[in-house]
A and B are shown apart, each in its own frame.
Chain A
């Protein structure tokens, strides 16, 4: 399966806080388009978002990441990537964004984010989908 779009921490927070429709529309689009494409949720982005959400918001985040088999999937943080991801998070000043950047690069996926200007420090403009 290929990962068509990756959600960073800002996208996950927006979804869980009901502060924007774009992530829901993106997930519905990937499902409608079918095929073998997925929406990727980097594990470090998931952890960063989860840590700052309240109980109800966490429930929405968990459902998004775990209850839509074949559409969304949590992308594990590999040991070999841990140091790079930590460095990116520190440099970008955005917890969880580093893992999303690494996964977008590796998989050739689009990064869906509300932090597009920051993401573009590390990714080509055409890789970043501003939500």
Chain B
């Protein structure tokens, strides 16, 4: 089921929609992502965790370094 809306967007935001095939799907996905982010941060904050951008950046660097190492030719554990 879907509902129709008439919405107003700033020009620079609306310009993004000039490049997508399905603006409704694009906006729906953006809302889902926002909802997911709020749910994630909400659960972490309710638990007492104050996650910082710097902390997330550091763990991302470590994860990506391991992922890159695993994808390298001849990496350990590769079949």
Give residues in A with beta carbon < 8 Å to B. 4-5, 15, 18, 21-22, 24-29, 31-34, 60, 63-64, 67-71, 108, 110, 123-127, 129
Contacts and interface: CB of A to CB of B under 8 A. Distances in A.
Nearest to B78: A124
Given A25-B51, A71-B39, 6 more contacts: A18-B47, A22-B59, A26-B63, A69-B39, A70-B32, A126-B69
Given A60-B47, A126-B69, A110 B39 contact: no
B59 to A, nearest CB: 4
Interface string B23-51: 00000000011001101110110111101
B44 A127 contact: no
B-side interface mostly? helix
A24 B62 contact: no
A31 B69 CA distance: 22
A126 B32 CA distance: 33
Nearest to A15: B47
B59 A31 contact: no
B77 A28 contact: no
B47 to A, nearest CB: 5
Contacts of A68: 36, 39-40, 43
A33 B37 CA distance: 11
Contacts of A108: 70
A24 B66 contact: no
Contacts of B33: 34
A48 B77 CA distance: 27
A28 B76 contact: no
